[in-house]
Structures are given as C-alpha cells and as structure tokens.
Structure 1
Amino acid sequence: MDAVPTTTPFSLLAERWQPSAAVVKRAAFAALVMSVVIVVTGGAVRLTASGLGCTTWPRCTDESLTPTAEMGFHGVVEFTNRMLTYVLSAAVGWAILAARCHRPRRRGLTKLGWAQFWLVMSNAVLGGITVLTGLNPYTVALHLIAAMALVWVATLMWERSKEGDGPARPLVAEPIKRLSYVLVGVIGLLVAAGTLVTGAGHHPGTPKDNKMVPRIPLDYDRLAQAHADLAFVSIGLAVAVIFVFAAVKAPPAARARSRELLIGLLLQGVIGFVQYFTDVPELLVGLHMLGATLVWIAALRIPLALRTREDTPTPTEAPAARAPQAAAV
C-alpha cells in the first residue's frame, strides 16, 4: 500500500501557488538585500551612540516594549533596528515559501532559506545578549560576524536560485578552485580583523563620556595596522587571481567577479586610510561597513562562478524517458 503524503500548511499553499523561477530569484535577492541592510543599520546604531538606546531586551525598557519619550533619538534608532529584524524575517520567509512552492520543488533552496531563518533568530538573541552585557565588545564583534554568516548563506541562496538542482560540475581544475577558497578565507579574516579594530576603537556604541562600556584591551593602532596588512594581502591575492583566471581561461563570470572584488578592495582601502587619518568620522565608518559587506559578497560569488549546475529531470520526465524500453519488452 502506498504511503499517504503528509499534508502540511506548506503543501497546501504549494497546491494553490506555484511561483515562477523569476519570483524565486527575486525572493532570494530580497533576502540578501535585507541581510545587507541589517548590517548597515546595526552599524548605524553603534555610530549614533544608540547601542543602549533600549536599555534591556526583548523589551525596550523594563516597563515598555517600545521606546519612551524620555529615551529620545537613541531609543528610536535602537528600536527601529530591532523592528527591521521583522522585515528581514519576512523577506527570508518569502524566500522559503517561494522555494518550497516552486514546481519542481527546490529542496536545496528551501534548506538554505531555513538556514537563514535560524541565523536571524540566533543573531536576534545574540543582539539581546549584547545589550544585556552592556555592549561587551566581544559580543558586539560576534554579533557582526553572525550577520556576515547570514550574508554568506543569503548570497549562496541567491546564486543557487539562478542554477539548476543537479550536481555541481567544476569548470576549472581543482587547484584553481582551491585558490578561490583561499581568497574567500583571507577576505573572511580581513572582515574578522575589522571587528577587532571596532572593538578597540573610537565608537563603543554609547556617548563618549560613558566610561562603563568596555573595550578590547589591545592597542588600537597595532590592530589597525594588522587590519591594513591583511588588506594588502587581500589586494595582492585578488590581483594574482585575476592573472591566474586569465591564464587558464576561467569562465567569464569568474573573471568579471574577480575584477569587481579588486575594485571593491581598493575603494575599501581608500576609505579605511582616510577614516584612520581623520579620526574615524561616523559617516566614513558607516560606508566602510557597507563596503566590507559588499566585498564579502563579491568574494563569495567567485567560487560559485567556477562550477555549474544543470536541471535535474522532473518526476514526470523520467517515466517518459523509459517508455520506449517498456514498450519494447
């Protein structure tokens, strides 16, 4: 006896709504855009000294879910960033539903969507811990790294939404693929080093006269120099990748993305040096955070351009292919 398929709210919705491939791509892209927005607005909370605009979590105060008039501008900024988490969750939810209801069902994309959901939830809790610990710089850094992990998965889902669901087929030799992984790893270290510079730097997230916010007990200038050194390594490696891709005639998309990464790194370097020698003004720091997110995305997209995935046959296609053999028997 055949097993009766389990009916779920998702399966019921899939019977009534089958989004096109274009809708799935737009949904995945919307989730990626919101993951970038949440990084930038989180930076705005710190740069406007609104990190403790809401004094507790999950409420804004012990008595109120929303900011009170006495909390002023800082309370509004912090609370707005919290509310944007719901917008992000809605975008991720749309991506999950679009992947689940598409025909044929995109199981791999659905899993990536759920991974984003759980990253959003865990990062919301981590944000609450950050507030409850008085903006401990280590939890602030971990909060940003978790947000970059969300960007990673969102980027993967967006790129996968433009491909088939068949097995990945490499378009270059294994050493070239490993080189792209090394590049991603170095860019990841560059971003992580930036969080340490932030933790020891000039913008703790509260007014400057607040001595209660701890900072990472490392020399700021040395951390900034280490960060700059990693930037030079990243730029050199990006240049090397461009030449290697040209020499082995890597796919045009991979070569274009490597050039985009180099441009992003150079712009980031200019912003970084200017902000360092101008006492890290808030606007430039915000631009640097946005640039770091875009550079991270650019690096992640390079290995994804070095392989391809074809569509797998749908269940209705497979019997048709076997039909001649059955007739012969």
Structure 2
Amino acid sequence: MILFVLRRVFRHGPAPAPAAGPAGRRARPPPGAGARCKPAYDGPVTNPLSLLAERWHPTPQHVRRAALAALVMSVVIVVTGGAVRLTASGLGCTTWPRCTADSLTPTPAMGINGVIEFTNRMLTYVLCAAVGWFILAARCAKPWRHALTRLGWAQFWMVMSNSVLGGITVLTGLNPYIVAAHMVAAMGLVWVAVLSWERAAEGDGEPRALVAEPIRLLARVLVGVIGLLVLAGTLVTGAGHHPGASSKDGKPVYRIPVDYDRLVQAHADLVFLSVGLTLAALLVFAAVKAPPAARARVRELFVLLLLQGVLGFVQYFTDAPEVMVGLHMLGAALIWGAALRVPLALRGRAGIPAQAAAPAAELVA
C-alpha cells in the first residue's frame, strides 16, 4: 500500500488540497465528484412499436386486410349489440363493469340473458384485437403510414369510449337516449373503419378531385341525409317495441315519449329522400362520366336502400319481429358504410415516392 502511494505521488504529484470554505473549513466536494460518468446516450429513443417495425414489414395487402378485419368487426358489434336488445338481454348483466355486484361473469341463475349480454361484452376484446392488428400493420409498414396509424388509434379510443357508454346504458336502466347515443357512436366507428380501409388502398400524396365541386357536394349531401336516416332510426328504436329488457327494478323500461307512428313516418320520409338523392347521383354521375368506381358504389347503395326499404315496410306491418329488426340493423350499418364510400371514390391520391417505386405487385389492393 505504501509503495502504491509513493508511486502515485512521484508520477502525478500530490493531490491538490480542497479549497477552504468559510471560517477556514474545508469545502465539501460536490456530489458525485470523482465518480466515473458514462457517456450520454444520444441515439434515437425506441419503444416496442418501433422495435417491432425494425423487424416486421407487412405488405400493403396485409395492411388492407387488417383494415378490413377492423371494419368487419365494427359491423359485427352493431349486430350483436342489436341482438342484446332484441333478446331482452340488455340487463342480462345487472351492472358494469362487472356482470353482477359480486361476479365478473354471469351466474347460472341469470340464464341465457346473462350469457348473451356477457358475450357481447367479450366481443369488444375481439374488436380491440382487430383494431390493434391494423395499428401494428400501419405502424410497421415501409414507409411508415402515419395517417393510417392515427386512424387506427382513433378507432381504438372510439371503441374504449363506446364501451364506457355501453356501461352507462346498463347503469341508467337502458335509457333510450343513451341507447341511441350508443348506436350513433357505433356508426361513428364504422365511419372511421371505412375511411381506414379506403385509405389503406391509396397512397399518401395530396388528394386531387376527379370531378367538379358541385358533384362532390352532391355526394356529401347524400351522406348527410343518410346520416339523418340512421339517426332517425335510433329514435324509432327508442320509442318502439324492443326496449332491451322487460323491466328495471320492477318498473317498465323508459321509452321516448313521442308517437311511434309519427316517428316511423318521419323515418320513411328520409328513406324516400335518400332513394331520390341516390337515383339523382346515379344519373348525374353517368352524365358527367364520373369514375367507374364512383358509379358502381352509387349503384350498390341504391340496391341496398331498396332492399332496406322493403325490409322496413315488412317489419312495420308485421309488428317488428326480432329477426326482421336484426336484419334491419345489419342493413343500416351496410348502407352507412356504402354511402361513405361514394365521396371517397371522387378523389384520388398519388403514391408517395417510396410507394411509387415499389414493385407493382406490392401495390395491388
């Protein structure tokens, strides 16, 4: 030890004494003095998504399949939510987020209604998985599809918000206005899912109009009227035959206090207006030689509206049987999605350079 100290003194000289502080006291060395510091890390900050993106590069076809899966599940959850109401299972689980005050899952005493309601809740996780797949595919694609990733996260938070809204419907004893808002939120999810699916087949360049502005305005008006049609349908449901449960705490489930027949008539008027606007769009699109995809989508919408109209009239005059109402809800989701696709076919997007340089086979939608 003595030899080590002497060798250090002869090589480096004696260590400087610490500066004296006030009153001749030696100043305390600053914290960490003499400690060896690691060099600062100045590389990029990574997270699990960026690490996955370095190792997995899904093709454009894969991204669009993921978007389609999320879209299909957004429609499925509309239909299963309707099945809960039509089987009087809306209060099959008596509370939320648990199924009962003492159980997370339904008990045998709750019967089939508890199973139906709980199954619908569990399908939310399947929907989240589909949306998560889309988010990962959009994030890991090369190049990174920033807009698609944002649309995926928008879907995720809409699912989360609507699941809370679904819980509120239970806690409020199936209040018809909350139930209607729950349905409108589900249609909002369909909207974003349709947009995601369409955008997955396009590039990320700036959109360019393929027709004149008045034609695009007609398409937007058509979407707005069909949106009002869907909204009116939720009000008809709120005043109609299937409240979702027979009673709440021994009292009948509250219904919207508006004459049912008048609501149905207003709903039918919007159907006629929607059919007329769709027929007008068919003729105008043909006259101005709109893109073939736009004309095909308007034809699809026209057929769906006619089928839905026939179904609605049969449903009304047969006292709204459960199966007919369920098919009507499926038709509403399909019509809404078909209407949203019409204006999207009236503009195009050029691919960004990295996409334009990719092999043509990888860009097939």
**With structure 2 as the length reference, what TM-score do the two structures score?**
0.85
Q: Could you say which residue in structure 1 is the equivalent of 2:170?
A: 131
Amino acid at match of 1:230: L
Is it true that 1:18 corresponds to 2:57 in the alignment? yes
Cα 1:315/1:146, change in 2 over 3 Å: closer
Contact 2:66–2:130 at 8 Å: present in 1 too? yes
**SS of match in other structure, 2:258:** coil
Is it true that 1:214 corresponds to 2:263 in the alignment? no
Instruction: Describe the superposition over 1:196-243 as per-residue Cα deviations: whole angstroms up to 9, x where unpaired.
Output: 000000000013796431000100000000000000000000000000
Q: Which has the larger radius of gyration?
A: 2
Aligned residue runs from structure 1 range 225-240, under 5 A: 225-240=265-280
**Which shifted more, 2-11 or 77-86?**
2-11
**SS of match in other structure, 2:103:** coil
Q: Could you say which residue in structure 2 is the equivalent of 1:146?
A: 185
Q: Distance in 2 between matches of 1:189 and 1:208?
A: 30
Q: Distance in 1 between matches of 2:152 and 2:356?
A: 26
Q: Could you say which residue in structure 2 is the equivalent of 1:314?
A: 354
Cα 1:316/1:179, change in 2 over 3 Å: closer
Q: Distance in 2 between matches of 1:175 and 1:257?
A: 18
1:314: how far off?
3.2
Instruction: Describe the superposition over 1:44-66 as per-residue Cα deviations: whole angstroms up to 9, x where unpaired.
Output: 00000000000000000000000
Which of 266, 286, 299 aligns to 1:246? It is: 286
Cα 1:242/1:70, change in 2 over 3 Å: same
1:3: how far off?
6.7
Q: Distance in 2 between matches of 1:35 and 1:53?
A: 22
**Which shifted more, 203-212 or 49-58?**
203-212
Contact 2:247–2:253 at 8 Å: present in 1 too? no
Instruction: Describe the superposition over 1:69-128 as per-residue Cα deviations: whole angstroms up to 9, x where unpaired.
Output: 000000000000000000000000000000000000100000000000000000000000
Q: Distance in 1 between matches of 2:45 and 2:308?
A: 51
Which of 305, 313, 323 aligns to 1:273? It is: 313
Q: Could you say which residue in structure 1 is the equivalent of 2:13?
A: none
**SS of match in other structure, 1:314:** helix
Instruction: Describe the superposition over 1:116-149 as per-residue Cα deviations: whole angstroms up to 9, x where unpaired.
Output: 0000000000000000000000000000000000
**SS of match in other structure, 2:99:** coil
Is it true that 1:258 corresponds to 2:295 in the alignment? no
What's the % identity of the aligned pairs?
73
Amino acid at match of 2:91: L
Amino acid at match of 1:284: M
Q: Distance in 2 between matches of 1:92 and 1:259?
A: 29
Q: Could you say which residue in structure 2 is the equivalent of 1:224?
A: 264
**Which shifted more, 206-215 or 10-19?**
206-215
**SS of match in other structure, 1:308:** strand
Gaps of 5+ in 1: 318-329
Amino acid at match of 2:147: G
Q: Distance in 1 between matches of 2:154 and 2:102?
A: 34
1:313: how far off?
1.8
Is it true that 1:34 corresponds to 2:110 in the alignment? no
Q: Could you say which residue in structure 2 is the equivalent of 1:327?
A: none
Q: Could you say which residue in structure 2 is the equivalent of 1:171?
A: 210
Aligned length: 316
Q: Distance in 2 between matches of 1:130 and 1:218?
A: 20
Q: Could you say which residue in structure 2 is the equivalent of 1:322?
A: none
Q: Could you say which residue in structure 2 is the equivalent of 1:157?
A: 196
Gaps of 5+ in 2: 1-40, 358-365
Q: Could you say which residue in structure 2 is the equivalent of 1:44?
A: 83
Q: Distance in 2 between matches of 1:153 and 1:273?
A: 30
Amino acid at match of 1:237: L
**SS of match in other structure, 2:152:** helix
Is it true that 1:284 corresponds to 2:324 in the alignment? yes
Amino acid at match of 2:128: S
Q: Distance in 2 between matches of 1:245 and 1:96?
A: 35
CA RMSD of aligned residues (A): 1.6
Contact 2:246–2:252 at 8 Å: present in 1 too? no
**SS of match in other structure, 2:208:** strand
Which of 150, 157, 172 aligns to 1:118? It is: 157
Q: Could you say which residue in structure 1 is the equivalent of 2:100?
A: 61
**SS of match in other structure, 1:56:** coil
1:310: how far off?
1.3
Q: Could you say which residue in structure 1 is the equivalent of 2:242?
A: 203
Q: Distance in 1 between matches of 2:354 and 2:348?
A: 19
Q: Could you say which residue in structure 2 is the equivalent of 1:323?
A: none
Q: Could you say which residue in structure 1 is the equivalent of 2:339?
A: 299
Q: Distance in 2 between matches of 1:114 and 1:172?
A: 31
Amino acid at match of 2:164: V
Greater share of helix: 1
Q: Could you say which residue in structure 2 is the equivalent of 1:78?
A: 117
Instruction: Describe the superposition over 1:273-329 as per-residue Cα deviations: whole angstroms up to 9, x where unpaired.
Output: 000000000000000000000000100000000011111123998xxxxxxxxxxxx
